[in-house]
């Protein structure tokens, strides 16, 4: 039996570069929904910071993503986000592939 995670990783040739835009993060926020806190923890945002996000329920995923993007020192944002989305506790492999990676033709 072939591991589906291995198949997913084999399709990625390169990760997008630079920083995700506000619009891109807003689109992603709509796809992560209730998993925003699990994703935030995988992106190294402390539980204390996650608890301090004081927006309505619909905006919490977006606010978390903005805080991550604007405070991280990483130069590989799409790669970091990809692996966080694919973590077994988050389980958003298809979203990771769609949002973070460049595929070959």
The torsion region of residue 102 among left (phi > 0), alpha (psi -120 to 50) and beta comes to beta
pTM: 0.81
Task: Identify the segments of the chain with pLDDT beneath 50.
Answer: 1-8, 10, 12
Write phi, then psi, for 65 (nearest 5 degrees). Answer: -65, -40
The rounded distance, in Å, linking the Cα atoms of 21 and 7 is 28
The rounded distance, in Å, linking the Cα atoms of 82 and 99 is 8
Write phi, then psi, for 91 (nearest 5 degrees). Answer: 70, 35
Note the pLDDT of residue 63.
Answer: 94
């Amino acid at each position: 039996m072939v591991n589906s995670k291995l198949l997913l990783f084999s399709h990625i040739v390169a990760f997008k570069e630079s920083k995700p835009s506000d619009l891109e993060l807003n689109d992603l926020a709509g796809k992560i929904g209730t998993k925003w806190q699990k994703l935030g923890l995988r992106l190294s945002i402390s539980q204390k910071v996650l608890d301090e996000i004081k927006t309505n329920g619909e905006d919490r995923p977006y606010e978390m993503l903005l805080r991550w993007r604007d405070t991280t020192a990483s130069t590989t944002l799409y790669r970091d986000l990809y692996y966080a989305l694919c973590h077994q506790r988050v389980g958003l492999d298809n979203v990771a592939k769609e949002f973070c990676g460049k595929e070959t033709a």
